[in-house]
Structure 1
Amino acid sequence: MIPVPQTAMVLAAGLGQRMRPLSLEKPKPLLEVDGRTMLDLVLDRLAEAGVKKAVVNTHYKAWMIESHLQLRRDVKITFSREEELLDTGGGVKKALPHLGKLPIFVVNSDLPWQNGATPALARLAAAFDEKKMDALLLLAKRENPRTRGFTNAEGDFFMEDGGRLRRLGTNTPRPYVFISAQIVKPEIFARVPEKVFSTNQVWDEAERNGRLYGLAHDGACYHVGTPADLVESNRLLREGGGW
């Protein structure tokens, strides 16, 4: 268990290609779910958890995201603009001077979630064990009816009884998918020599070292990847109050 991290990295630099044509006019994080942009929904969750500083990386239509966030006061926003796309891991590595040495949240900006009985970010902090973990990922069961919008039929991870994650060594579909939020030690990104790399690269290293863990989400989530997903997520919220 650790105190809730005071700093978060919010990934918002992607091109949103699967969201075209909607993303031709504005970056995907600024599209709205339930009357709020997906980026604001994520920042709302961070602020509710007690996060004080969020580093937001930008690239595609960066000025629109930066302008949109100028009025937020509940979280101090720092921008990390990427002149070239650095992928998810490279984006975090570039922002390391702003992130400090303590464990941080890293959160995607296009996968809003609904909390269960206890807020998901608080649950992550309560479960994070610095002595044995480099990364703790928020996961959901693929077959859960409250896990929507995921097209990866193979899933992402197997989770052992103690929460340790693995994904190699079997052809069986993996039952868990990553759903946007994680607590990580910033140092694991600093160890990667490449400039452009995926977060999967640091997860792979943590898995090899037995230091990659997961926590099952107890609420709903919706991977809003396409225009159809956006319509459906809003319909479900409008008609039923949740996913």
Structure 2
Amino acid sequence: MIRPTVGMVLSAGRGARLRPLTDTIPKPLVPVLGRPLLDHAIDRLAAAGVARVVVNVHHLGQQIVEHLKARPAPEIVISAEATALETGGGVTQALPLLGDAPFFAVNGDSLWFDGAIPALDRLAAAFDPAQHDAMLLLQKTVSAVGYEQNRGDFFLGADGKPRRVAPGEIAPFLFAGVQILAPHLFADAPAGAFSLNRIYDRALAAGRLGALVHDGEWYTVTDEAGLAQVRARLDRRWAGR
């Protein structure tokens, strides 16, 4: 088991499918349950013992910078991208800020609620540096709120190892945008923009990609209809408490 003390929130995306809302506000600052999605993600990291959170910014990034000035903790470090670097390029640029140990990385537009044990604690308990270079949190597609596709991303074998969905298949699990990554996975990473999928494929090929299934609730914001669906579901959830 390893306990990351550093995390990253991926917050530089354009959020094009949520336009026109994201023409004036970056997607991570879109409010759900009265707080920006970004703050929900940072709250989860802080509760898991993360002392430093790196936030990458690009589209309307100054709004995110100004918003985060109001947070007293954890320590927030900004990784500003002059050009959009996608998920893999964004993490690669931020590596000097993330240190040499495995770190949490979460998408700025995903919102999750934990089961009996917090998801980040479960990831930390499952991640074994002797066996893993990455550990992904998966979500059942049938219970993912705001998820529009039905193809999924991964299968899990009897041995607990993930396998990517192949053409023509429908997989029961999607990647929930929450993970632990080892910095050495990014050795010889390409310059510029690229997807973290390239990093996952590297770990898969080496047999060092781990995954576990989330046992709580998971929401994602895609477009305006999806945002309305998430807000309505959460309003009902809280009204019943």
- The normalised TM-score by structure 1 is 0.95
In structure 2, the partner of 1:175 is: 172
In structure 1, the partner of 2:2 is: 2
In structure 2, the partner of 1:184 is: 181
Superposition deviation, residue 229 in structure 1: 1.5
Percent identity of equivalent pairs: 45
Aligned amino acid, residue 80 of structure 1: S
How far apart, in 2, do the equivalents of 1:242 and 1:8 lie? 32
Aligned amino acid, residue 61 of structure 1: L
CA contact (8 A) 2:146 2:227 kept: no
How far apart, in 2, do the equivalents of 1:242 and 1:236 lie? 10
How far apart, in 2, do the equivalents of 1:19 and 1:169 lie? 28
Superposition deviation, residue 209 in structure 1: 0.8
CA contact (8 A) 1:8 1:104 kept: yes
Give 1:88-167 correspondences, 5 Å limit. Answer: 88-144=87-143, 147-167=144-164
In structure 2, the partner of 1:234 is: 231
Superposition deviation, residue 155 in structure 1: 0.8
CA contact (8 A) 1:236 1:242 kept: no
Superposition deviation, residue 151 in structure 1: 2.0
Aligned amino acid, residue 125 of structure 2: A
CA contact (8 A) 1:47 1:75 kept: yes
Aligned amino acid, residue 234 of structure 2: L
Distance 1:175 1:242, change over 3 A: farther
CA contact (8 A) 2:12 2:59 kept: yes
Superposition deviation, residue 231 in structure 1: 1.5
What secondary structure is seen at the aligned counterpart in 2 of 1:229?
helix
Superposition deviation, residue 14 in structure 1: 0.4
How far apart, in 2, do the equivalents of 1:173 and 1:75 lie? 40
What secondary structure is seen at the aligned counterpart in 2 of 1:9?
strand
Aligned amino acid, residue 13 of structure 1: A
Distance 1:169 1:156, change over 3 A: closer
How far apart, in 2, do the equivalents of 1:194 and 1:210 lie? 25
In structure 2, the partner of 1:52 is: 51
In structure 2, the partner of 1:198 is: 195
In structure 2, the partner of 1:85 is: 84
Superposition deviation, residue 181 in structure 1: 0.6
Aligned amino acid, residue 39 of structure 2: D
How far apart, in 1, do the equivalents of 2:146 and 2:204 lie? 26
Q: Alpha-carbon deviations, 1:136-163, whole Å to 9, x = none?
A: 000011123xx11112321111111232
In structure 1, the partner of 2:214 is: 217
CA contact (8 A) 2:146 2:229 kept: no
Superposition deviation, residue 238 in structure 1: 1.3
Greater shift in the superposed pair: 190-199 or 73-82: 190-199
Aligned amino acid, residue 190 of structure 2: P
How far apart, in 2, do the equivalents of 1:10 and 1:45 lie? 11
Structure 1: state its 5+ residue gaps: none
What secondary structure is seen at the aligned counterpart in 2 of 1:162?
coil
What secondary structure is seen at the aligned counterpart in 2 of 1:143?
helix
